[in-house]
Amino acid sequence: MKHLALALIAAATPALADPDITVAPPQSLAWETTPEGVAFAALSGDRWSEAYFAMVRLPGGTISPPHVKSADMFGVMVEGQMTHATLGQKDPTIIGPGSYYHVPAHLPHISSCVSDTPCVTMLYQDGAFDFVPVQP
C-alpha cells in the first residue's frame, strides 16, 4: 500500500525537466486559404472542433457578409486596418496594428479589412469556428 501511495504521488508530481518553448517564425506558418481568400495559420487547437488560436489574414478590401459566430472572438491586429461593426452601425472605429478587439458570441456583425493591404490578426476563439450568415 505504501508503494502504491508513493507511485500515485510521483505520477501526480510535475516533471522537473525544463518546459519546451515553441517558436514559429513567420515563414514557418502553414497558411490555409479558404475559397473566399481568407487565410488561417493554426497556432493552437483545431478550429473545426474546439477553441483555437490562429493567425488570420484577409485580403485588402474584404468585407464579410453579416454573420454571427457561436463562440466569443478575441483578436489583436498585426497588420492592416479593420472594422468590426454591428448591423446598422455608422462609422465604426478603424483599428490597426496593436489594437485589440472582442466580438461576443451570437452578435450579428460585419468585419471589414478597410486597408488596401492585407489585414493580419492574431485570433483566439473560445469554441469551434463557424460562420453563420444573418439577414441585415
Euclidean distance between CA atoms 64 and 36, whole angstroms: 10
Q: What is the pLDDT of residue 15?
A: 53
* φ, ψ dihedrals at 2, nearest 5°: -65, -40
Q: What is the pLDDT of residue 101?
A: 98
pLDDT exceeds cutoff 60 at 9? no
Q: Compute the average pLDDT of residues 30-35.
A: 96
Euclidean distance between CA atoms 97 and 5, whole angstroms: 53
Q: Compute the average pLDDT of residues 106-124.
A: 98
Confidence of residue 117 (pLDDT cuts 50, 70, 90): very high
Euclidean distance between CA atoms 57 and 40, whole angstroms: 7
Q: Compute the average pLDDT of residues 74-91.
A: 97
Tell me the three cell numbers of residue 76: 489583436
Residue 95: name the closest of 111, 106, 71, 72 by CA. Answer: 111
Euclidean distance between CA atoms 5 and 123, whole angstroms: 43
**Which helix (H) or strand (E) is 77 found in, with range?**
strand 73-79
More confident residue, 7 or 95: 95
- pTM for this predicted structure: 0.82
